[in-house]
Structure 1
């Protein structure tokens, strides 16, 4: 009995010893995660103080939950929260649908030269910074010389050019549309990689049984990439309160703030920009806690919908 109880311990230490080189290689990454992801959590103490830079952490006055009370009593905070949820949800839906559809269509292309060319062109916008991308979007949507307005007027869809980026009611649709243009090709890469793991014999058998391309996509391709879709969905749900700071910051205008102001730009303007460091920290804690709750909930739902095991 003693030997059998000691066996698991010996096997664990033997495994650690045998993989000691790999474990040592992980140390730099663990240190990086600790420095950039966990040590900064000590700064959350600011949310419970009236932080003054000239007084420092220790001497600043404790105010308890006052910053959170101020946060939840500010109407502009709830406006920013609404915009964040709406824009992030639309991005999540359109990004998933467009990326999966594009990957499936690209997977059906048999000419490798055409396939590689289209794929390369599609993910090039991913490498363009939002500074440059915002200028491109402004040019395309300009009411004076933008190609979108020119086409709409030419085909008599509208009578006069529309200032798309100056009218708040259009922003909730412009944000996800521009995100799809920039990230669709890049996001499709992982789905194309998942499709390569599908056994080609399944398609051959389905073809022999008389299934067309659409039925093969529905019954073979989509179920084959479903585990990948679930994992990416869970990861993206956890980031639903991050609607894309750079995109919103460069595209929003004072006239569209009612629809374009998200939590991150709200924190920048009302927190850091106004010197309210503690208030900004409280808003950041709210963002992190809600994101943790969302990703945990999504993981539980996915485990029940799927085959019974959680992804994480």
Structure 2
């Protein structure tokens, strides 16, 4: 038998050839890359303030302020962790985030499952449009509507509560600290649940219809098809969204809390985001605010890595 001729390995193409072949794709990502560099990576140089007794008046320019501000090591972090506010804002932040994880996170999934079961295409489109609309309403408008509906003077919902519970027992949503977290979760669910179904409906669109037909032949009803076909089909999407949600466990949303915060509920509404705003913007303590923000970022990174590894341990693909 004749020996097979060994073909020489093809030489890898140079990066110039590959770039020219896909040059328009590379050009299209330039705006996104510039945005990330300018607004995400460049400001990371300001993290040095967390290790300085920073003052903008220490130099003639912004760069001079960084150069002439004394380096204090980890003293700012020690002051932050041992201060009287750390435990309180950590508790408030975690209570809001955990409540959001329990009640708000499953809401888009449940709504997407129900929308997927609607057989009338016209009714389905109308319903989707109606539940998407609140997402495009500004949080300022949502806060104003909430204040108007639950006002103790002329609020429509508050007067309904008076008729049900009586004037003395009617809950004051706007000032009762115990009702602050449920109010935030209710606002988030009303505003974002519909829009959050988009990614799950997109995942459901890829489910093979033959699976439903085979299950129907075997006698499965709608609930069994949903449990054994629909949910497993979007399980990987749910896991990825859960990892992202866990990574933002210390990000409770500054705008919403700031708009709903008042002197009556401040004990439960002070979170890391409002703390950073108060210390950095209002009081001018940039070093302490930077240390708090850096702590949030480090915890978020650890939570994302931990949740991703845990997902892989349970057999899921994870985020990366």
Assess same fold via TM > 0.5: yes
Q: 1:257 aligns with which of 250, 255, 266?
A: 266
Check whether the contact 1:77–1:266 (CA below 8 A) recurs between aligned residues.
no
Looking at structure 1, the residues matched to 150 and 283 of structure 2 have their Cα atoms a distance apart, in angstroms, of: 32
2:210 is equivalent to residue 207 of structure 1: no
**Residue 226 (structure 1) aligned with residue 235 (structure 2):** yes
Deviations 1:153-206 (A, max 9, x none): 334487543211101111121111111111000001111111111111111111
CA-CA distance at 1:244 after TM superposition: 0.7
TM-score by length of 1: 0.93
- After TM superposition, the structure 1 stretch with the greater mean CA deviation from structure 2, 256-265 or 144-153, is 144-153
Residues 193/47 of structure 1: CA separation in 2 closer, same or farther (3 Å cut) = same
In the aligned structure 1, how far is the partner of 2:154 from the partner of 2:200?
37
RMSD: 2.0
Q: Which range moves more in the overlay, 146-155 or 248-257?
A: 146-155
2:160 — aligned with what?
151
CA apart distance, 1:27: 2.2
Tell me how far apart the structure 1 counterparts of residues 188 and 112 of structure 2 sit (CA, whole Å).
Answer: 17
Give the stretch that moved more between structures: 145-154 or 295-304. Answer: 145-154
Give the equivalent residue in structure 2 for 1:19.
Answer: 22
For residue 64 of structure 1, report the CA deviation from its aligned partner: 1.4
2:56 is paired with a residue whose SS is coil
Q: Which segments of 5 or more consecutive residues in structure 1 lack a partner in the other structure?
A: none
Q: Does the CA-based 8 Å contact 1:143-1:162 persist in structure 2?
A: no
Inter-partner Cα distance in structure 1 for 2:160 and 2:229: 40
* Preserved contact between residue 250 and residue 300 of structure 2 (Cα < 8 Å): yes
Deviation for aligned residue 1:241? 0.9
Q: Which residue of 1 aligns with 2:45?
A: 42
Greater share of residues in helix: 1
Residue 254 of structure 1: how far off its partner (Å): 1.4
**CA spacing shift, 1:3–1:24, aligned 2, 3 Å:** farther
CA distance in 1 between partners of 2:51 and 2:229 (Å): 54
Moved more, 270-279 or 158-167: 158-167
Larger Rg belongs to: 2
Unaligned 5+ segments in structure 2 are: 1-5, 59-64
* 1:127 partnered with 2:136: yes
- Determine if contact 2:50/2:287 at 8 Å carries over to the other structure: yes
Q: How many residues align?
A: 309
- The change in CA–CA distance for 1:161 and 1:310 in structure 2 (over 3 A counts) is closer
Corresponding residue number in structure 2 for 1:64: 73
- Residue 222 of structure 1 deviates from its aligned partner by 0.6
**Cα 1:304–1:12 shift into 2, 3 Å:** farther
Pick which of 141-150 and 21-30 moved more. 141-150
TM-score normalised to structure 2 length: 0.90
Q: How does 1:269-284 map to 2 (within 5 A)?
A: 269-284=278-293
User: Shift of residue 144 of structure 1?
Assistant: 2.9
Contact kept, 8 Å, 2:239 with 2:318, in 1: the verdict is no
Q: 1:311 aligns with which of 293, 306, 319?
A: 319
